């Protein structure tokens, strides 16, 4: 897969060096020198990873990160001259996956990019094609942008509902227990009860199914768990 990487950096010499190194690794590069342009590119193109400088004009890097995190879990590396522990914690808290301080080694940055892409797009747990169509095009899911459309209308799923739906989409046809859904969607440290999954799935069905009482997408396998029947094109 040829990954698309967006570099957001207002220092042209730094941008060009990062770009040159990543092109050598066969990545497709998009570039922006301010926050407004970065958001325009992200909303238009399929971006798999973002390298984001915090000190950029028009719209700050912090604000760009916050806006992206409202709709997407795309891998994001923050790049900044702010090196204090508080700055790093703040960056991670608003949604960064990694944090690199200036001055930095470009080779190390490339290694971090590779590692983050490996973790984020493992073939065994995440579908790499981010825009998927089901049920003869009635249901469209964009995994990277966290968008779900039914008959052309965007469905208002919560972040947790989308995480659960994404697990189903990444495991079509498999019967998944509540425990498996919790682990895949929320991780081992999830503090909710396994029956919370039932409530989430009930809410997903209300939004997704034509008739939630007779679902065709997410089926109940009694005594075991749930199964996503994708009705793929």
Domain boundary (70, 101, 120) is at 120
Which residues touch 229 (CB under 8 Å, ≥6 apart)? 172, 173, 216, 217, 218, 219
- Print the domain residue range for 144: 131-228
Please give the residue that has the higher pLDDT: either 1 or 220. Answer: 220
Please give the residue that has the higher pLDDT: either 186 or 218. Answer: 218
Does 156 map to a domain? yes
Kindly report the CATH number assigned to the domain that includes residue 215.
1.10.10.10
Does 125 map to a domain? no
- 115 and 155 together in one domain: no
Nearest Cα to 53, choosing from 89, 18, 4?
Answer: 18
- 105 and 142 together in one domain: no
Q: What is the mean pLDDT of the chain?
A: 84
- 104 and 140 together in one domain: no
Cis peptide before 103 (omega within 30 of 0): yes
Looking at residue 129, what is its pLDDT? 54
Q: Is the pTM of this model over 0.75?
A: no
- 93 and 194 together in one domain: no
pLDDT digits (tens, 9 = 90+) for 61-84: 999 999 998 888 888 998 877 655
**Spatial distance between the Cα atoms of 80 and 88, rounded to a whole number of angstroms:** 9
Does 126 map to a domain? no
**Spatial distance between the Cα atoms of 186 and 166, rounded to a whole number of angstroms:** 12
Burial of 59 (0-12, 13-18, 19+ CB in 10 A): middle
Mean pLDDT, residues 115-138: 70
Residue 15 structure tokens: 């941008």
Looking at residue 122, what is its pLDDT? 61
- 96 phi and psi angles, rounded to 5 deg: -70, 145
Q: Give the total number of structural domains in the chain.
A: 2
Kindly report the CATH number assigned to the domain that includes residue 26.
3.40.50.2300
pLDDT digits (tens, 9 = 90+) for 164-201: 998 898 888 888 998 888 888 877 555 555 678 888 99
- 22 and 113 together in one domain: yes
Does 38 score more than 90 pLDDT? yes
Mean pLDDT, residues 35-43: 95
């Amino acid at each position: 897969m040829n990954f698309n990487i967006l570099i957001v950096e207002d220092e042209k010499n730094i941008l060009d060096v990062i770009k040159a190194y990543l092109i050598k690794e066969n990545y497709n590069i998009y570039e922006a020198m301010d926050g407004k342009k970065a958001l325009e590119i992200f909303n238009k193109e399929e971006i798999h990873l973002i390298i984001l400088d915090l000190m950029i004009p028009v719209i700050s890097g912090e604000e760009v990160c916050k806006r992206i995190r409202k709709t997407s879990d795309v891998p994001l590396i923050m790049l900044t001259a702010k090196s204090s522990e508080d700055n790093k914690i703040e960056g991670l808290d608003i949604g960064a996956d990694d944090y690199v301080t200036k001055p930095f080694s470009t080779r190390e940055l490339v290694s971090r990019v590779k590692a983050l892409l490996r973790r984020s797009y493992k073939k065994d747990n995440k579908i790499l094609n981010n825009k998927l169509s089901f049920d003869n095009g009635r249901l469209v899911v964009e995994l990277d942008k966290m968008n779900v459309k039914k008959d052309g209308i965007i469905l208002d799923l919560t972040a947790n509902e989308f995480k659960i739906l994404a697990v189903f989409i990444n495991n079509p046809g498999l019967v998944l227990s509540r425990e498996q859904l919790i682990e895949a969607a929320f991780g081992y440290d999830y503090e909710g009860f396994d029956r919370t999954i039932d409530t989430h799935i009930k809410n997903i069905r209300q939004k997704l199914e034509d008739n939630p009482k007779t679902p065709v997408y997410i089926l109940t396998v009694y005594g075991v768990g749930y199964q996503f029947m994708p009705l793929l094109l």
